[in-house]
A and B are shown apart, each in its own frame.
Chain A
């Protein structure tokens, strides 16, 4: 039987893992040790549950409400294009990223041969994830490969723009202008749609 995936370790630690997989933990020294370590660190982190956030003065809450009330006194709820305002400083960066995606997509579409599937080998497990361009990998993975995909998504989740810049991935402002000027009407519409979608997703 395969060892527990990261998700299953969490489910075991929280007592929601199914009986069959739980039985594996009890029979597998490696998984049992890893699960015990995970529970130990959860207990350690839980030590800080109560003392971590000191209760502010009772007067603080009314003061906070008054500050918010004062701050929004002259603000409008919504308005034309108001939602772009908080993200306006990041617009060049967002535009650069979207353009990179669009340009890459255009290059792929112009290629006469269909793109080859991507194969990602899982170190040590002998399994592999096959990904066709555009396919929803998360939804189609079998349980054995899901662990590999979770590791990949977890590793990529914290990739920061600064990190990308540090390894030489950057776009000069003039390059963005030139790229935007080359977009046709459909591509401009797609650019707008992606930007709006990203703004909504970010919750701003």
Chain B
């Protein structure tokens, strides 16, 4: 997907205009809070993929992940004044995404994408990798079993495992997202993996 350089003209004092190109997250946040709504497009464009992928890991289907991603950014927009910059904007958005996703999965059981849909999306990759159809089916079956088992983990273990295994976030960042200590994150990860093993066996 092509990247787009975000820029806008900001009036810093009467008669003086400054054009900001490829701004930092902090500059985008400051611009939105100052009333520049276009700057929020830059925040969405920069973080939408990671937020969507995180939401998808929780709900397992495109429709819900898409709705949740939209919800995350709407909540972020409404709450932007509370963002103080003490954590990275991505971490802050992840925190909202985890909360929104966990609320969603607690009121609605996961509606995972059917195997056929996953196979269709991976058809090209399968061909490119010269992987046989039966191997692909087996791989997807195993992946489906893992996803179903993860969906049965307690909420905090589930969030910890997803953030660590599939988003490869450091334990310190996960602690910031979940409001836990690093030790608690590691312990949660340990228990999540042990429970996952029991569920898969």
Contact = CB atoms under 8 A, between A and B. Distances in A.
Contacts of B118: 51, 54
Interface in A139-178: 146, 149-151, 153-154, 157-158, 160
A83 B165 CA distance: 32
B146 interface: yes
Given A6-B190, A38-B190, A38-B193, A51 B122 contact: yes
A38 B162 CA distance: 16
B104 interface: no
A14 to B, nearest CB: 9
Contacts of B108: none
Nearest to A46: B165
Contacts of B155: 158, 160
Contact of A200 (B73, B77, B82, B180): B82
A185 interface: no
A64 B52 contact: yes
Contacts of A61: 1, 45, 48-49
A21 to B, nearest CB: 14
**Residue with the highest number of chain B CB atoms closer than 10 Å, among A7, A48, A65:** A48
Contact of A68 (B44, B53, B143, B154): B44
A44 B77 contact: no
Contact size class for A?
A: 35 or more
A58 B77 CA distance: 24
A6 B157 CA distance: 13
A165 B122 CA distance: 44
Contacts of A60: 66
Contacts of B53: 53
B74 A154 contact: no
Interface in A59-86: 60-61, 64-65, 67-69, 71-73, 75-78, 82-83, 85-86
Contacts of B28: none
Given A60-B66, A64-B70, A71-B70, A150 B183 contact: yes
A153 B52 contact: no
Interface stretch (B7-15, B17-25, B32-40): B32-40
A77 B56 contact: no
A15 interface: no
Nearest to B77: A72
Interface of B: 1, 32-33, 35, 37, 40-41, 44-45, 48-49, 52-53, 56-57, 62, 66, 69-70, 73-75, 77-82, 92, 95-96, 99, 106, 113, 117-118, 121-122, 139-140, 142-143, 146-147, 150, 154-157, 161, 165-166, 179-181, 183-184, 186-191, 193-194, 196-197, 200
